[in-house]
Homo-oligomer: A and B are copies of this chain.
Amino acid sequence: MKAITAVIKPHKLEDVRAALETFGVAGMTVTEASGYGRQKGHTEVYRGAEYEVDLVPKVRLEVVVEDGDATEVVDVIVKAAQTGKIGDGKVWVVPVETIVRVRTGEVDGDAL
């Protein structure tokens, strides 16, 4: 399995969630975050407000998927999160050794 972490613009969360559901991803975890990217000091607009400070509100998503789905799921997230403007975010992939469904104790492929 792979854990895909995506840090995206908050207003793109619903598009990304819908795209993941259409793809068939079984679950995801969402956290509020903030961050800065390469354009430090540049302004970003969030909900009509300009942020000149370094830390801009973002949403952090985590999705654990089967190895064979990882490349496609990254692509789905990137396409759905893209606005073409700076600050669109990053998506990265980390290896997962095992995953368990808490309710049943099922593991790995059966847990997703």
How many positions in chain A have a CB within 8 Å of any CB in the partner chain? 57
Given A32-B31, A33-B31, A96 contacting B99 (CB threshold 8 A): no
**A45 close to B (CB within 8 Å):** no
**A19 close to B (CB within 8 Å):** no
Q: Are B102 and A92 in contact (CB under 8 A)?
A: no
- 21 sampled A-B residue pairs with Cβ under 8 A: A1-B92, A8-B102, A17-B55, A26-B37, A27-B35, A27-B37, A28-B35, A29-B34, A29-B35, A29-B60, A31-B31, A64-B90, A78-B100, A78-B102, A83-B103, A84-B103, A88-B103, A89-B103, A90-B100, A91-B99, A93-B97
Q: Are A90 and B82 in contact (CB under 8 A)?
A: no
- Beta-carbon contacts of A74-112 to B below 8 Å, as 1s and 0s? 100110011111111111111111111111010000010
CA distance A40 to B30 in the complex (A): 15
